[in-house]
Amino acid sequence: MQSYLVPLQHEFESTQNPVFAAGMKKYMKEQSEFYGIKTPVFRSIIKSFLKKHGLPGDKYLNAVIHECWSQEKREWQHAGIEILLKYINDPGRDLIGLLEFMIIHKSWWDTVDGIAAWLVGPYFKKYPDMIKPKTREWLESGNIWLQRTCLLFQLKYKSTTDTALLFGFIRELSGSSTFWIRKAIGWALREYSKTDPDKVLEFVNSYPLHSLSRREALKVISRKK
């Protein structure tokens, strides 16, 4: 264990709850083990830890994130995300390799979706020239979590969403039989419909989408009618 993370390990272990852990494991389809720390308590622990211990030095960041990802309990991966959030707006920092590592290892929606919206999204805003070549690489990778990230990284962009890019991703991935892609297509469209419902409606009505994607895409629009 990286020495920087030892105090956090002590906090997790002293706060763990086996009953909650069993419920979390069941909810997450047996994908991970848990300490059983509920979100408000987890956030309080992370906030206190960062306030007391600060951030790892630059040369230790990669090692710290990899250490978080090597741990069995899922709270560690979420801790890694929280730590990296403090670096994501630091200009000149090359984090794309680390972000890819986090997406493709121990992949499940609970980490990938946060990485996409809160880490990859801001990172690509800082480095827009990287978007097309990197997302092209991810689309062609065959990895559903990298593909899902392509669909979701603009979730918080609102009026600055590149709709041509988003709709292009959707066209390329709409033939996927994977639930996680179909759901992400609908989610991305639903989120953008809060900004431009007419454009989303026009796209949904002009392009054949899987029923799950279409249903998810129109949820907000349907409620407003």
Residues 173-208 pLDDT 10s: 999 999 999 999 999 999 999 999 999 999 999 999
Which residues 6+ apart lie within 8 Å of 209 measured at CB?
170, 174, 185, 186, 217
At residue 73, φ and ψ (nearest 5 deg) are: -80, 135
Q: Is the pLDDT of residue 171 over 80?
A: yes
Q: Residue type for 156, please?
A: K
Bridge partners of residue 73, in order along the sequence: 33
pLDDT digits (tens, 9 = 90+) for 25-54: 999 999 999 999 999 999 999 999 999 999
Q: What is the DSSP letter of 134?
A: H
Can you give the pLDDT at residue 63? Answer: 96
Q: Are 7 and 53 in contact (CB under 8 A)?
A: yes
Can you give the pLDDT at residue 223? Answer: 82
Assign domain 115-225 one CATH number from 1.25.10.90, 3.30.950.10, 1.20.1250.20, 1.10.730.10.
1.25.10.90
Confidence of residue 89 (pLDDT cuts 50, 70, 90): confident
Q: Is the pLDDT of residue 91 over 70?
A: no
Confidence of residue 225 (pLDDT cuts 50, 70, 90): low
* Mean pLDDT computed over 159-175: 97
Cβ burial 186-225 (10 Å sphere, 16+ → b, else e): bbbbbbbbeeeeeebeebbeeeebbeebbebbbebbeeee
Taking the model in full, what pTM does it have? Answer: 0.94
Which residues 6+ apart lie within 8 Å of 3 measured at CB?
none
Domain(s) of CATH 1.25.10.90: residues in the chain: 1-87, 115-225
Confidence of residue 1 (pLDDT cuts 50, 70, 90): confident
Q: Is the pLDDT of residue 92 over 80?
A: no
* Mean pLDDT computed over 78-105: 92
Q: Are 148 and 141 in contact (CB under 8 A)?
A: no
What is the architecture, at CATH level 2, of domain 1-87?
A: Alpha Horseshoe (1.25)
